[in-house]
C-alpha cells in the first residue's frame, strides 16, 4: 500500500528481530514510509543494520538516543532535523525496569527502581514528544506501546504496570497539548510477545498460555499484528482518533 508514502517516521526501540518495533518497522516500510531509527546501544545498532540489509529495507538515518538523557534526546532530534528535515511520526517502543522488581511483591519495590521505571518507560514519551513536535511541522502521529498490567494487577508486572499507567495518562495529556498542532498521540496495548524485554518479566509462559485458553481468539498475538495496528495509528485512516488505547491482545482484556 502507499498509506505512508513520503512520510518520515522515527522508530525508537528496535533491539533485535523479536522487538515489537521491528514488527512495526516492517508494516511501516510496506506502507511506503521513510524510516529513521534510534538505538541506545552499539549492540542494537549492529543488529539493526544487519536486519535492514537482510530485509532489503533502507534507513534514511540511524541515530543514537538514550532516553535517560535530555541531551541525548535533543541531539538525536537535532540530527534528524538537520539530515532529514520534517518528520510525520514517532514510534515510542522503549521501556525498562530492574529485573529483580519484576517478580514477587510490588510492596518490595525500591524508590530507585520505581523512579527508574517511570523515567525510562513513561517520562521518555514526554521528553520525546517535546523534542519531536518542533520538527512535526505538518502534523502527524505519535504511538507508544503499553500493556494491560497498567489497568489490572498482573502477577510479576509490578513496577512496570505502574509505569504503564503513568505512560497511558501521559499519552492522554500529550494528546491534548499537541492536538492543536495537528499531532495525534495514541497507544497500542499488546498481549504478551516473547522479546528481550519480555524475558525480564517472570512467568511469561503462564501468561501466554492463559491467552490461548481464554482470549476470544484463543491465540497469542505477534509483532506483525502490533505492527499493522500501529500502522493504522500512523496513517490517515485514524485521523479522527487521538488519546486512545487500542488493545491488540486477541480480545483478552474483555474477559472477566
Ligand atoms: O510482551 C511484550 N513484549 C510487550 C511489550 C507487551 C506490551 C507492551 N510491550 C512494550 C514494552 O513495555 C516496551 O514499551 O513494547 C515496548 C517494546 O518492548 P519489546 O519489543 O518487548 O522489547 P525489546 O525488543 O527489548 O525493546 C526494548 C527497547 C530496546 O531497544 P534498543 O534499541 O535500545 O536496544 O527499549 C530499549 C531497549 O534497549 N531501551 C531504551 N532505549 C533508549 N534509551 C532505554 C533507554 N534508556 N532503555 C531500554
Nearest CA to ligand 1 atom 16: 93
Contact 37 CB / ligand 1 (< 6 Å): no
Closest CA to 24 of 217, 208, 193: 193
- 94 Cα to the center of ligand 1, angstroms: 4
pLDDT of residue 205: 92
Q: How many helices and strands (H and E) does the chain possess?
A: 8, 7
Contact 41 CB / ligand 1 (< 6 Å): yes
pLDDT of residue 186: 99
Contact 164 CB / ligand 1 (< 6 Å): no
Contact 94 CB / ligand 1 (< 6 Å): yes
Contact 68 CB / ligand 1 (< 6 Å): yes
Residue 28 placed within a domain: yes
pLDDT of residue 131: 98
Residue 155 placed within a domain: yes
Residue 137 placed within a domain: yes
pLDDT of residue 41: 87
Pocket test for ligand 1, best of 15, 123, 206 (most atoms within 8 A of CB): 15
Q: Work out which ligand 1 atom sits closest to the CA atom of 120.
A: 46
Q: Work out which ligand 1 atom sits closest to the CA atom of 189.
A: 7
pLDDT of residue 210: 96
From residue 18, alpha-carbon distances to 87, 128, 133 in Å are 26, 23, 29
pLDDT of residue 201: 83
Q: What is the domain count for the chain? A: 1
From residue 80, alpha-carbon distances to 192, 194, 226 in Å are 32, 31, 25
pLDDT of residue 1: 87
Residue 251 placed within a domain: no
Active site residues: 147, 157
- 86 Cα to the center of ligand 1, angstroms: 25
* Average pLDDT score, the chain: 97
Residue 253 placed within a domain: no
Report the first-to-last Cα separation within the chain, whole angstroms: 38
What's the domain range around 71? 8-245
- 12 Cα to the center of ligand 1, angstroms: 9
What CATH number does residue 137 fall under? 3.40.50.720
Nearest CA to ligand 1 atom 39: 94
- 31 Cα to the center of ligand 1, angstroms: 23
Contact 147 CB / ligand 1 (< 6 Å): yes
Residue 158 placed within a domain: yes
pLDDT of residue 88: 98
Residue 250 placed within a domain: no
Q: Whole-angstrom Cα distance, residue 40 to residue 73?
A: 11
The helix (run of H) or strand (run of E) holding residue 204 is helix 204-214
Residue 31 placed within a domain: yes
- 187 Cα to the center of ligand 1, angstroms: 14
**Residue ranges of the chain whose pLDDT lies below 50:** none
pLDDT of residue 249: 98
Nearest CA to ligand 1 atom 30: 13
From residue 4, alpha-carbon distances to 21, 38, 178, 240, 245 in Å are 17, 19, 21, 17, 21
Amino acid at each position: 500500500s502507499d498509506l505512508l508514502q513520503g512520510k518520515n517516521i522515527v522508530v525508537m526501540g528496535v533491539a533485535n528481530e523479536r522487538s515489537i518495533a521491528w514488527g512495526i518497522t516492517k508494516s511501516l516500510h510496506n506502507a511506503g514510509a521513510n524510516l529513521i531509527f534510534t538505538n541506545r546501544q552499539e549492540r542494537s545498532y549492529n543488529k539493526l543494520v544487519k536486519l535492514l540489509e537482510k530485509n532489503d529495507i533502507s534507513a534514511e538515518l540511524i541515530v543514537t538516543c538514550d532516553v535517560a538523557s535530555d541531551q541525548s534526546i535533543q541531539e538525536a532530534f537535532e540530527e534528524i532535523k538537520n539530515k532529514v528535515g520534517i518528520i510525520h511520526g514517532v514510534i515510542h517502543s522503549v521501556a525498562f525496569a530492574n529485573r529483580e522488581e519484576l517478580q514477587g511483591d510490588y510492596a518490595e519495590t525500591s524508590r530507585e527502581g520505581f523512579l527508574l521505571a517511570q523515567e525510562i518507560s513513561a517520562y521518555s514519551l514526554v521528553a520525546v514528544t517535546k523534542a519531536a513536535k518542533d520538527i512535526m511541522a505538518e502534523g502527524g502521529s505519535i504511538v507508544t506501546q503499553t500493556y494491560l498490567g497498567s489497568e489490572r494487577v498482573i502477577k510479576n508486572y509490578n513496577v512496570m504496570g505502574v509505569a504503564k499507567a503513568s505512560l497511558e495518562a501521559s499519552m492522554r495529556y500529550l494528546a491534548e497539548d499537541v492536538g492543536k498542532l495537528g499531532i495525534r498521540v495514541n497507544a497500542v496495548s499488546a498481549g504478551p510477545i516473547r522479546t528481550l524485554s519480555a524475558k525480564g518479566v517472570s512467568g511469561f509462559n503462564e501468561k501466554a498460555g492463559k491467552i490461548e485458553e481464554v482470549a476470544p481468539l484463543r491465540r497469542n498475538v505477534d509483532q506483525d499484528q502490533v505492527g499493522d495496528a500501529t500502522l493504522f495509528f500512523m496513517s490517515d485512516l485514524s485521523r479522527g482518533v487521538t488519546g486512545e488505547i487500542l488493545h491488540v491482545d486477541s480480545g483478552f482484556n474483555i474477559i472477566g
